[in-house]
Amino acid sequence: MRFIRLTILFLLAACSLGAQAADLALEDQDCASILERWAENPEAVPARLVDACKEQMAQPAEPVAALEPAPAMADPCADGGAGNVLCWGPWAALAPAAAAPMVALAIPPHVGDCDVGSGISDRCRVQLEQIDPGPGPEPAYPLAPCEPGMPCGFATFVDGVTSTGDVEDTEFKRFDFAPDGTRFVVDPGGPDEIHSVAMDTNIQPRPDGYENLRANGIEGEEQSRAIARIIREGEGADIELAADIWAHGNRGTRAGNSGYFAWGVATSASGLALLNGEGISLTFTGPMSVNNATNGSITVDFGSQPSWTGSWENPAWSFGAGGSVNGVNLLSDPSRFSSNVQAGSVVQGALLGEPGGNQGIAHIIDVHLADGGHIKDVGLLRAPVIAN
């Protein structure tokens, strides 16, 4: 465009270097452009034109206010502008003066055509593409979630066989337990996988609906043990819920690992359908295992969009949480923790047992409290037995 403008100016200048007072402002602007072009490339502009512009720019401008207004001029391009050098094809005016490049604008790409029937391009409206965000990201479970109807458990994991260690050195692992209490597996399929040796069991009654299980086994230098609260339907029946202590180590080297656990069989798909179809609420309660002075309580509201809320009470601290229920799995929502819970905290759990039977929740808490330090624990909470 700038080249076209200069070409036109050269033609105008060749016709006449004289100027009327009414055209003075235009000529100054044109001369400025000519001199700029000459400064960039002296060979591109005739010397006589440069000299004329230098002389023109050196003269003081006459006051514009004293000039008579110029009469309105007919549009030279009104009838197509045939033969008029000012009318080039579709352009009916001189190109604009050279200016700084426009700043790039973040204009969305045109999608689709102009609105049907508009007929005029400058009235077309850009049709913005509607982008489907799709489903949100899957919840970030600290441990692999549980499957309906399958064995499901969680455990703490520490060095040594005392089951308790420094909280910052305590890890969480998935845990599996034999229905007869004779074997367990820690971190199944993981890098720290531990298989217990076969264990003998001794089960004694308790007055609170649980039974006490003591299991111990030795194979060569390897030794395993479990001390747990268990629930079963009767003598000789399979264990349905279990929680508390596990350990496995080498008697010769005295090296080993241990921790606490909570385990059961996850609620079946048909059991979940029944609970959600009835839209009932169930409250699960019980002590935690690492620190049995801590009591947990979780209420699950079943329905089309099941959710849960919970609280944990200890003589030294307490906190609350809530979140979603996805299948059998519970996961905390960061926005639903009580105000004394700090970022990075999480609660994960799973529903155990069938409606009308022994139902529970195995879960872990990994919580940073503003007034209570860092808490890591695992627990088994029970619901009261209700008729089907």
At residue 307, φ and ψ (nearest 5 deg) are -145, 175
Residue 135 lies in a domain: no
Give how far Cα 234 sits from Cα of 205, 240, 262, 317, 358, Å.
11, 11, 20, 38, 12
Locate 27 and state its tokens. 């000529």
Residues 197 and 266 in one domain: yes
Q: Are residues 37 and 164 in the same domain?
A: no
Q: What confidence tens digit (pLDDT) does each residue in 324-357 have?
A: 999 999 999 999 999 999 999 999 999 999 999 9
pLDDT over 50 at 100, yes or no: no
Q: Is residue 26 located within the same domain as residue 148?
A: no
Whether residues 244 and 299 share a domain: the answer is: yes
How far apart are the two ends of the chain, measured CA to CA in Å?
Answer: 85
Buried b (16+ CB within 10 A) or exposed e, 58-80: eeeeeeeeeeeeeeeeeeeeeee
Tally the C-alpha atoms within 13 A of residue 386's C-alpha that lie toward its C-beta: 14
What is the overall mean pLDDT for the chain?
79
Residue 90 and residue 175 in one domain: no
Same domain, 280 and 376: yes
**Total count of domains within the chain:** 2
pLDDT at 332: 97
Q: Residue 367 and residue 348: Cα distance in Å, rounded?
A: 11
Q: Assess if residue 345 is contained within a domain.
A: yes
Partnered with residue 135 across adjacent β-strands are none
Alpha carbon distance 292, 209 (integer Å): 17
Give the residue from 325, 335, 274 showing the smallest Cα distance to 301: 325
DSSP run (H or E) holding 25: helix 24-40
Domain-embedded: residue 386: yes
- Give the tokens for residue 236: 């000789």
> Is 165 in the same domain as 38?
no
**201 in the same domain as 312:** yes
Q: What is the pLDDT of residue 11?
A: 41
Residue 127 located in a structural domain: no
What pLDDT is attached to residue 4? 41
User: Residue 51 belongs to what domain range?
Assistant: 1-61+86-95
DSSP state of 210: -
Condensed to tens digits (0 to 9), the pLDDT of residues 181-236 reads 999 999 999 999 999 999 999 999 999 889 999 999 999 999 999 999 999 998 88
Q: Are residues 147 and 216 in the same domain?
A: yes
Task: Indicate if 281 and 354 belong to the same structural domain.
Answer: yes
Asked if residue 75 belongs to a domain, the reply is no
Q: Do residues 317 and 388 both lie within one domain?
A: yes
Q: How confident is the model at residue 313 (pLDDT cuts 50, 70, 90)?
A: very high
Single-letter amino acid, residue 145: P
Whether 349 and 330 have beta carbons less than 8 Å apart is answered as yes
What pLDDT, on the 0 to 100 scale, is given for residue 367?
97
CA distances to 25, 37, 84, 89, 93 from 2, rounded to whole Å, are 19, 10, 19, 17, 13
In a domain, 376, yes or no: yes
Query: Residues 27-65: pLDDT tens digits?
Result: 666 777 777 777 767 777 777 777 777 776 666 544 444
Let me know if residue 16 belongs to a domain: yes
pLDDT of 109-133, one tens digit each?
444 444 444 343 444 444 444 444 4
Looking at the structure, tell me whether residues 356 and 253 fall in a common domain: yes
Average pLDDT estimate for 168-172: 97
Q: How far is CA 30 from CA 39, 101, 202, in A?
A: 14, 20, 106
Rounded CA-CA distance 73/316 in Å is 93
- List the strands of the sheet with 211-219, edge to edge: 194-195, 184-186, 171-177, 151-159, 256-265, 239-250, 222-232, 211-219, 200-205
CA 348 to CA 329: how far, in whole Å?
Answer: 7
Of 70, 95, 120, the domain-final residue: 95
With cut-offs at 50, 70 and 90, classify the pLDDT of residue 298.
Answer: very high
Instruction: Tell whether 184 is covered by a domain.
Output: yes
